[in-house]
Structure 1
Amino acid sequence: MHPFSTCHAPAERADSEKIIAQADLFAQRTLSRELLDAVPTLLAILNAQRQIVFNNRALLEFLGGTDAGFGLRPGELFGCSNAHLMPAGCGTAEACRTCGAVNAILSGLDGRKDSREYRLTRQEKGHHQALDLRVHTTPLFHEGQRFVVLTIEDISNQKRRSALERIFFHDILNLAGSVQGVSQILVEQPDDPDFDEMLRLLDSASSQIVDEIKAQRTLLAAENRELQVSLEPLNTRAMILQATEMYRRHPSAQGKQILTESGDDAWFFSDATLIARVLGNMVKNALEACREGETVSAGCALVNDCIEFWVRNPAVIPRDIQLQLFQRSFTTKGPGRGLGTYSMRLLTEEYLGGSISFTSTAEEGTTFRATLPLRMPDLTDSNHL
């Protein structure tokens, strides 16, 4: 691949000599420089090639280092997982087309102020860290050269809290409404011929309420690195059957079919609760993507000394959504509904030692796969990741 290949922003970079000269323009110990270092706002100045020529102290402290990162682009400094997908680095991969930071910077270079949300996943000490940021860009002309002032707000805690609260209250209120409705019928019409069916619905809805509460508790513990992993022998077919049976009576399954295909019957060691969360999300997402009359299929197979669980639905995910699917706060379901795929990856990759992937084509629909080791290391004494 050509070193200046790009799928989005221009790939060319200024050489090190020019970077040093541009950095010197902002290096003098003037009052303005001292003020920029004094404010708590994360701030950087970028040249016309989107390379950093100045960082203030707050940004360096946020990243936990002392290297100013001159010559790097923002995604490279932040450790964005997309920054090294192309030889030319940050801004040039296909996934960068949906990046708030790159697009805001390009607006700044075109002479327009801009403000956008910037979601990224970075590698920190071998683990994924999701960041939700808001970036602001302002054009700057200095010494006859074009620059962009980039300021950054960390809104990760705000976004996470908002998403968790909205998901929790949305799902719990829906389920509680079902319990209330069925209970009222039982009270008002005790001789209803469908009494037994009403009891079954009441039991199902109350079980789902408890399950939703447990799911939120698990996700909070996972994000806080407090989740305990408990290993035990598990059966592959039993786990996939449990996941599909759990959602046969779920509201999202109304008018749709769930087909559990026969797969490899094997035993493996992992955490039953966490796998149930991952597989449950895979099935639920597939059902929500389907229309009435369509079928969701699920199965499992042994692949290269690993167990692969898969769930397929006939819908196709648009390409721009595919590029953002595992970001924590990205959603196509309305405000605050974007943690399903994110939690699948968080639990699978950070706690279960596996990986999550998907394919989506018009010919075959969408298939999510969770690939897990047959025996993962015992993390009992070291799972505060």
Structure 2
Amino acid sequence: TALLKSHVHGKADNAADFALTYGRSLSTAFKATRIMLEGEEFIVASFVDIGDQIWRQDVERIFLHDIMNTAAAVMGILEMAELHDEAARLPTDDTIMTESCRLARQWIGFLTEEILSYKTMMEADSGTLEPRASRFRLFDLIAQTAEAAEHLPCAKDRRIVSEYCDKDVLVTCDRTLLGTVLMNLVKNALEAVSQGDEVRVTCVCVAGTARIAVWNASVIPEAHQHHIFQRMFTTKRTGHGLGLYGSRLITERYLGGSIDCISGARTGTTFTIGLPITALVAKAPAA
């Protein structure tokens, strides 16, 4: 209707651009112009899918916002140490400087992980990611991820509990990519629960498959459960819909595994990664 009206009012020589959005599934740019051909008037119109463009713009905006917040936290820590040093007009208190340096390193670590995670997810989405498979003990990766997650800001006053059925399970895949996916699931679980609650990371072996489960007590609304792995879908006010979409993409396309989610009022929410078991670590014979 808007297009026809534009031509009725004589806007024949200019293209008309419209941005149309239907729900979360379709974003298009509509372009049309009027032409004369052998004395007859025609309207030539085209639709261009700009969903990728809009999504990437949103992701970049949110990502840069997160980066700025983390950088601001580091600057705040360093400024506090500097102010204390100037106020005392004495040699810097070693305890305060040590703690400030520790916090600064920690926040810089968060910043680095955020950048690497973003880079990995975007490469996976564009198909340019190049995985590097190696054989490693799954227990070690889970333990390291759980320990690292304890230092995240969202882990404050929350507990992470890890349980394993067998510490000698070996898998073959890109260790860094699996760590990125697992950390994303643990981080989401921590953000979903309240202070004093716990997040459980468990690993069980079933029929040649290692199943890594991340559980929390919160419930995903039923209306959202069928969309959580979709690109651009998010329930967070400042979310970008990249984490779970990217996690499934990486797990299925680059790790040769699977990822699923079950959520309910009685059971809470569990995200499960399934990976084929390569072998078990050879144990030394009993003396």
Give the alignment's TM-score, normalised by structure 2: 0.77
> Could you list the runs of 4 or more consecutive aligned residues of structure 1 that deviate by over 3 angstroms after TM superposition?
132-136, 192-195
Task: Answer yes or no: is 1:234 the counterpart of 2:136.
Answer: yes
Equivalent AA in structure 1 for residue 72 of structure 2: G
| Contact 1:301/1:309 (8 A) holds in 2 | yes
Instruction: Provide the residue aligned with 1:343 in structure 2.
Output: 246
Equivalent AA in structure 1 for residue 53 of structure 2: Q
Deviation at 1:337, TM superposition (A): 2.3
Give the alignment's TM-score, normalised by structure 1: 0.58
Deviation at 1:155, TM superposition (A): 2.3
| Residues in 2 aligned to 1:315 and 1:192: alpha-carbon distance in whole angstroms | 42
Residue from 141, 151, 156 that aligns with 2:51: 156
Once the two structures are superposed, what CA deviation does each residue of 1:62-109 show, in whole Å capped at 9, x if it has no partner? xxxxxxxxxxxxxxxxxxxxxxxxxxxxxxxxxxxxxxxxxxxxxxxx
Instruction: Provide the residue aligned with 1:172 in structure 2.
Output: 67
| Contact 2:62/2:238 (8 A) holds in 1 | no
Instruction: Provide the residue aligned with 1:243 in structure 2.
Output: 145
Equivalent AA in structure 2 for residue 117 of structure 1: G
For structure 1, the 5+ residue unaligned runs are: 1-38, 42-113, 120-131, 137-150, 376-385
Q: Describe the SS at the equivalent of 1:326.
A: coil
Q: Describe the SS at the equivalent of 1:302.
A: strand
| Contact 1:328/1:338 (8 A) holds in 2 | yes
| Residues in 2 aligned to 1:163 and 1:277: alpha-carbon distance in whole angstroms | 21
Residue from 112, 120, 139 that aligns with 1:218: 120
Deviation at 1:115, TM superposition (A): 5.4
Q: Describe the SS at the equivalent of 1:331.
A: coil
RMSD: 2.4
Residue from 260, 263, 268 that aligns with 1:365: 268
Q: Describe the SS at the equivalent of 2:61.
A: helix
Equivalent AA in structure 2 for residue 116 of structure 1: Y
Instruction: Provide the residue aligned with 1:99 in structure 2.
Output: none
Instruction: Provide the residue aligned with 2:87 in structure 1.
Output: none
Deviation at 1:153, TM superposition (A): 4.8
Q: Which has more helix, going by share of residues? A: 2
| Residues in 2 aligned to 1:117 and 1:335: alpha-carbon distance in whole angstroms | 18
| Residues in 1 aligned to 2:217 and 2:47: alpha-carbon distance in whole angstroms | 40
Equivalent AA in structure 2 for residue 176 of structure 1: A
**1:287-298 alignment to 2 at 5 Å?**
287-298=190-201
Instruction: Provide the residue aligned with 2:159 in structure 1.
Output: 257
Q: Describe the SS at the equivalent of 2:232.
A: coil
| Contact 1:163/1:338 (8 A) holds in 2 | no
Q: Describe the SS at the equivalent of 2:235.
A: coil
Deviation at 1:243, TM superposition (A): 1.4
Deviation at 1:224, TM superposition (A): 1.6
Task: Answer yes or no: is 1:203 the counterpart of 2:105.
Answer: yes
| Contact 1:355/1:370 (8 A) holds in 2 | yes
| Residues in 2 aligned to 1:220 and 1:308: alpha-carbon distance in whole angstroms | 26
Instruction: Provide the residue aligned with 1:187 in structure 2.
Output: 82
Q: Describe the SS at the equivalent of 1:370.
A: strand
Deviation at 1:133, TM superposition (A): 3.6
Once the two structures are superposed, what CA deviation does each residue of 1:319-374 show, in whole Å capped at 9, x if it has no partner? 11112101111111125521111111010011111111011111121000011122
Equivalent AA in structure 2 for residue 319 of structure 1: E
Deviation at 1:236, TM superposition (A): 1.3
Q: Describe the SS at the equivalent of 1:261.
A: strand
Percent identity, aligned pairs only? 36
Deviation at 1:164, TM superposition (A): 2.4
For structure 2, the 5+ residue unaligned runs are: 1-14, 31-45, 85-91, 279-287
Q: Describe the SS at the equivalent of 1:198.
A: helix
Deviation at 1:249, TM superposition (A): 1.2
**1:18-167 alignment to 2 at 5 Å?**
116-119=22-25, 132-134=26-28, 153-167=48-62
Once the two structures are superposed, what CA deviation does each residue of 1:152-171 show, in whole Å capped at 9, x if it has no partner? 65122223312320232122
| Structure-2 change in CA distance of 1:203 and 1:118 (3 Å) | closer
Q: Describe the SS at the equivalent of 2:104.
A: helix
Equivalent AA in structure 1 for residue 212 of structure 2: F
Instruction: Provide the residue aligned with 1:333 in structure 2.
Output: 236
| Residues in 1 aligned to 2:24 and 2:149: alpha-carbon distance in whole angstroms | 34
| Residues in 2 aligned to 1:289 and 1:152: alpha-carbon distance in whole angstroms | 39
**1:279-294 alignment to 2 at 5 Å?**
279-294=182-197
Equivalent AA in structure 1 for residue 101 of structure 2: L
Equivalent AA in structure 2 for residue 173 of structure 1: M
Deviation at 1:193, TM superposition (A): 4.0
Q: Describe the SS at the equivalent of 1:350.
A: helix
Instruction: Provide the residue aligned with 1:12 in structure 2.
Output: none
| Contact 2:121/2:242 (8 A) holds in 1 | no
Q: Describe the SS at the equivalent of 2:132.
A: coil
